[in-house]
Chain A
Amino acid sequence: MASLELTSIAKKYGAVEVMRGLNLKVQDGAFCALLGPSGCGKSTLLRMIAGLETVTEGNIRIDSTDVTHEEPSRRGVAMVFQNYALYPHLTVRQNIGFSLSLAGATKAVQTEKADVVAKMLQLEPLMDRRPAELSGGQRQRVAIGRALVRDPKVFLFDEPLSNLDALLRVQMRLELAKLHQDLKTTMIYVTHDQVEAMTLADQIVVLDKGVVQQVGSPLDLYNAPANRFVAGFIGSPAMNFLAVSADGSDLVLPGGGRLAGAAQGRVVEVGIRPEHVRIVADGAGLIRGTTRVVEQLGNTSFVYVDIPSGTFVVEVAPDATPSPGQSVDLALDMSRLHKFSADGARLAN
């Protein structure tokens, strides 16, 4: 177990700067998810922590030890790769024990440690199989076992569930959560799937274009996004946004609806999550629109409503779902309204 501290990290490929001035502190035993869209630099950051990419500027400390220029195998980290990277010519036992064999451990030690890991991950019946003979979920567990056997201070996961089908992903997510609870080892987890990040992590780092947008707990990010990017990125379906104009102390919505007393000097846009919008009786709402598509999920439904400025998503109870093509009035829960300035910063309510 160890804490991780990144200070003023910058990464350049030639003249192209992909990351600059990144600071991050991950507490000992935390499960930290690096979340962001493709190309935001999350995998690059993970690979720099692993030692697979050089750091252009700044330093990386694991448990107060500067490992910025240390060899990957000497950093006390272990990584689970997106495509597992299991050696196809070795059995599960040999894959798990490979790092021990390189370190010169005896066969007895290798077998003993591999067996402990196998028991933990329920891999015992598979130990003599090769990776080609395993299912996706089993391969994933072997990859975790290979990392586990090294007894690392920090676990690094690079989108480990992205190759699994939806059902298996949920199952493996649960197993990872249990593993973290059992081991209490610091884990850094890269994903572009916010559901994974929200369900697994106790600390989420949202990245965009190599810059940290916000660091916080899943609920912090959901309820109090630091800016428009985080507000739009966290949540599924995404937050609804409306460009507004100020008229005295009121904010005027597209279509003429007014948010009384909501105006603040720099507000140019407001955002509201689908569950904070209600379909109300004709004339009782702020925005009028026409339902276009209805998604029935069983426990809830999402209604996509065409409004003058675009599409608005509304979450409704499954038994109160309007039909497509129906004209509806939408009311907003003013206490849940997020206000943003022109530069995307969130303004206090």
Chain B
Amino acid sequence: MSVTSTSRRRIETGAVLLTALTAICALLWFFPIYWAIITSLRFDQDTVTDFALFPKSPTLSAYIFTIENSNLLRWYFNSTVTSVTITIITVAMAACTGYAISQLSFPGRKLLWWTILASFMVPVSALIVNHFIIIAQIKLLNSYAGIILPMLLHPVTVIVYKQFFDGLPREFREAAVMDGATEFQLLFRIFLPMNWGVTTALAIITFIGAWNSFLWPFLAAQDETMMTVTVGITAVQDAYGVAYGRVLSGAVLAGLPVALAYLLFQRRVTQAITLSAGIKG
């Protein structure tokens, strides 16, 4: 009896300590974000003098300035166009490719699969010079196509789809074939709708990745009107020097859609990370 209560007390103490440690880690992680938000709510002259945890006189002046004196709305538009296009094309291509590799038999299937796996091993930054030269040669710099095309390479999405299709019992396919379904109908009327969760999850992480991407849009969009929001906010910094409130207001505005997307689709994002964890790991 006493042994049981002692071990229970030990477990409870351990749980309290673990919870406290987790809370401290969460605070450490969240503090820079909090600091960025409250700094963006200070007057510019206070950003290097007022270190209180909450501004004495909070203001939206930095936000108003950033919105009024930059192309932020245009950058938002550019980010939306590129991210949505990348998401739709990437997911559609990956679903079709994953389906073909998993379910169809055609010459070169294994070669295609190994090529996709191999391409996954090559970091994007190693290809970026090639991408830049090709896009420049075909005169697509400073265009949506120029930003979008190299960002359609997403082998992980193909791998996740292939694994998902591999895991489906073959009877579903056979039943549909006996019902007279074509490959297209099989994919779009049976396989994908069978678990929209996979597609939703992959679409969300692809969107977040495209929205947050910086290096390629930074190289491909040199004209301010073609910049995405992540690239654009660096222009705010350049144009107005070290005005921390304005820079951070731009950063907060840039990150807002992704943060909202995460909050709204938290479960799906976690699912996507779980789906691709085995591959990325």
Q: A residues near B, CB below 8 A?
A: 50-52, 71-74, 77-79, 81-85, 87-89, 98-99, 102-103, 146, 150
Contact = CB atoms under 8 A, between A and B. Distances in A.
A77 B177 CA distance: 12
B257 interface: no
15 contacts: A52-B178, A71-B180, A72-B177, A73-B177, A73-B179, A77-B178, A79-B175, A79-B178, A82-B171, A83-B171, A85-B169, A87-B194, A98-B179, A99-B179, A146-B175
- List the 8 closest A-B pairs by CB distance, nearest first: A73-B180, A85-B171, A99-B179, A85-B175, A81-B171, A89-B193, A72-B178, A102-B180
Contacts of B180: 71, 73-74, 99, 102-103
A81 B194 contact: no
Q: Is the interface of A mostly helix, strand, loop or mixed?
A: loop
A73 B193 contact: no
A151 to B, nearest CB: 13
Nearest to A104: B180
Taking each of B171, B176, B185, which has the highest tally of chain A beta carbons within 10 Å of its own beta carbon? B171
A103 B178 CA distance: 12
B100 interface: no
Contact of B178 (A50, A83, A89): A50
A236 to B, nearest CB: 29
Contacts of B177: 52, 72-73
A102 B171 contact: no
A122 B177 CA distance: 27
Interface string B187-220: 0001001110000000000000000000000000
Interface residue range, chain B: 10 to 19
Contacts of A84: 171
Nearest to B192: A89
A81 B193 contact: no
A158 to B, nearest CB: 9
Contacts of A78: 178
Contact of A89 (B169, B171, B179, B194): B194
B172 A73 contact: no
B179 to A, nearest CB: 4
A103 B180 CA distance: 7
Contacts of A73: 177-180
Contacts of A99: 178-180
Contacts of A87: 172, 175-176, 190, 194
B164 to A, nearest CB: 14
Contacts of B195: 89
A71 B180 CA distance: 9
A146 to B, nearest CB: 8
Contacts of B174: 50, 52, 72, 79, 81, 85
B181 interface: yes
Contact of B185 (A82, A102, A146): A102
Contacts of A89: 193-195
A85 B172 contact: yes
B190 to A, nearest CB: 6
Taking each of B174, B180, B185, B190, which has the highest tally of chain A beta carbons within 10 Å of its own beta carbon? B180
Nearest to B169: A83
Contacts of B193: 89
Taking each of A51, A78, A84, A89, which has the highest tally of chain B beta carbons within 10 Å of its own beta carbon? A89
Contacts of A50: 174, 178
A72 B174 CA distance: 9
Contacts of A146: 175, 179
Contacts of B169: 83, 85
A88 B177 CA distance: 16
Contacts of B194: 87-89
Interface in B225-267: none
A102 B179 CA distance: 7
Nearest to B193: A89
